[in-house]
Structure 1
Amino acid sequence: MQEENKSHQPAAIVLLSGGLDSITVLALARRQGYACYALSFDYGQRHNAELAAAQAIAEQYGVIEHKVLQLGLNSFGGSALTDANIAVPTVAQTGIPVTYVPARNTIFLACALGWAEVVQARDVFIGVNAVDFSGYPDCRPEFIQAFQDMANLATKAGVEGRKIQIHTPLISLSKAEIIRQGLALGVDYALTVSCYSADPQGWACGKCDACRLRAEGFRQLGVADPTRYVAA
């Protein structure tokens, strides 16, 4: 059953992966006074440790409701994150890497848009980043703007003048800047899982692109990285 937002706070949908960026976005949305609905996806990714992390984060931040949608993008494959036959690379790649999941953010945002209409939220938050990222095309400002335009053409809310805003507060920040902002908000990054190949307990490989970007962000700040890494 849909829980009612009984406060006078504006409602927002926050995409919550369980990683470093998404917890920062949730903390920012809360600080800005939004009543948050957290949305996560079991899309057939290599591990569910990030979903366990998302659940713990949602509970800590007292979101109104946390939904985990089953999508099964592994039925398509085509990505190292959804196809066990494609290895997660442990060295930097040029171009769009094999960890790109085809159309993932388009699908995620479309689902968020649907829930936003149901709970009458006019704001959707997503932690995409176009600075320290892996070259994914659906993390760019051009994509977000295009989706924003589509959202207000495709929805009852948009047509009736209640336009929905896609918020990307991290899009122009480096990983170190994101971490600095999160720490200022009191974020506990030990709750998060960023690794593409984390084990069931959330221990990180320390070698994939996500691990490298995260570790470098903490290193640049001179702050201890709370990530739990498997033994080398």
Structure 2
Amino acid sequence: MSKKAVVLLSGGLDSTVCMAIAKSEGYELLPISFNYHQRHSRELAAAAGVAKHYNVGHHLIIETNMEAIGGSALTDPQLAVPAGQADAANIPITYVPARNLIFLSYALGYAEVSGADKVYIGVNALDYSGYPDCRPEFIALFQQLANYATKATAADGRKICIETPLISLTKKDIVLLGAKLAAPLQLTTSCYQGRDAACGQCDSCLLRLKGFAEAGLTDPILYHTRSE
């Protein structure tokens, strides 16, 4: 029986490199993506392309509605996505309340049912936008919760490990690792605007472009404006 790993796959740079890592470690890939009414829903098409690249048996897409909660420029059409604020000290308006908590909970359930013993998530505590649910402290606490949250872990003696291989890497390191593992970075999207060509101005674009520039590589996706 092959060992299995659930991979939270957004269609972005980090989650795709996570997918490549899980593949390189010999896991059968079980990607899970979310249609949460995000304004940049184009990332779902990118995630589908990445899943197809890895020839996965099933790409699970969960329908949920975080637009109904609001409070984020990624889900509320009344809020504008900020530009040029990647280095801001405060948690930005693009933070989606409790998103990783919700996504990891779905992934944990999927891991239990599918027999996976790993859940990969591409959170990062260095080159990121200050989101609280990307911190090592959050992951450590969720792991403690996961150890007691399911029949598999609480009664059957299984442990489902939350893997965060990118958490201490810079964007430069992530880009270089993706290139080393031949991850399909050309299929990914990171832009919060969700257009065919990335805006090159939002926090996510700026962090991505910075990573490629520091790695000495050219980002293979299309941009409306490149702000290296």
TM-score, normalization by structure 1: 0.94
Alpha-carbon distance in 1 for matches of 2:40, 2:144: 33
Q: Which residue of 2 aligns with 1:165?
A: 161
State the alpha-carbon separation in 2 of the partners of residues 189 and 121 from structure 1: 25
Correspondence 1:11 to 2:4: yes
Quote how far apart the aligned CAs of 1:23 are.
0.6
User: Which residue of 1 is the match for residue 83 of structure 2?
Assistant: 90
Once structures 1 and 2 are overlaid, which stretch shifts more, 92-101 or 169-178? 92-101
Amino acid at match of 1:221: A
Structure 1 unmatched ranges of 5 or more? 1-7
Deviation by residue 1:199-218 (Cα, 9 ceiling, x = unmatched) = 1x3x1010000000000001
Superposed counterparts of 1:121-140, under 5 Å: 121-140=116-135
Q: In the alignment, is residue 80 of structure 1 matched against residue 76 of structure 2?
A: no
Equivalents in 2 of 1:121, 1:188: separation in Å? Answer: 24
Paired letter, 1:81: L
Does residue 179 of structure 2 align to residue 183 of structure 1? yes
- Greater CA drift, 167-176 or 216-225: 216-225
CA distance in 2, matches of 1:30, 1:231: 33
The change in CA–CA distance for 1:20 and 1:154 in structure 2 (over 3 A counts) is same
1:197 equivalent in alignment to 2:193? yes
Q: 2:29 aligns with which of 20, 23, 36?
A: 36
CA distance in 2, matches of 1:94, 1:134: 9
Superposed displacement of residue 26, structure 1? 0.3
Counterpart among 55, 59, 65 of residue 52 in structure 2: 59
In the alignment, the residues of structure 2 paired with residue 15 and residue 163 of structure 1 have an alpha-carbon distance, to the nearest angstrom, of 18
Letter in 2 for 1:77: G
Whether 1:212 and 2:216 are equivalent positions in the alignment is: no
State the distance in 1 between where 2:225 and 2:192 align: 16
Q: Tell me the CA shift for residue 91 of structure 1.
A: 2.4
Matched, 1:225 2:206: no
Q: What is the rounded CA distance, in whole Å, between the counterparts of 2:10 and 2:91 in structure 1?
A: 21
Shift of 1:154: 1.1
In 2, Cα distance between equivalents of 1:79 and 1:48: 14
Match of 1:124, SS? strand
User: 2:40, 2:191 within 8 Å by CA — same for their partners in 1?
Assistant: no
Q: Distance in 2 between matches of 1:97 and 1:161?
A: 40
Deviations 1:24-43 (A, max 9, x none): 00000000000010000000
- Cα distance between partner residues in 2 of 1:206 and 1:86: 19
Q: Could you tell me which amino acid in structure 2 is paired with residue 216 of structure 1?
A: K
% identical aligned pairs: 53
Does 2:141 align with 1:146?
yes
Flag as ranges the 4+ runs of structure 1 deviating above 3 A.
none
Residues 79-118 of structure 1 mapped to structure 2, 5 A cutoff: 79-92=72-85, 93-118=88-113
How high is the TM-score relative to the length of structure 2? Answer: 0.95
**What is the CA-CA distance between 1:75 and the residue it aligns to?**
0.6
RMSD (Å), alpha carbons:
1.0
Alignment partners' CA distance in 1, 2:199 and 2:212: 16
Count of aligned positions: 223
State the shift of 1:48 in Å: 1.9
Question: How many angstroms apart in 2 are the aligned matches of 1:84 and 1:152?
Answer: 37
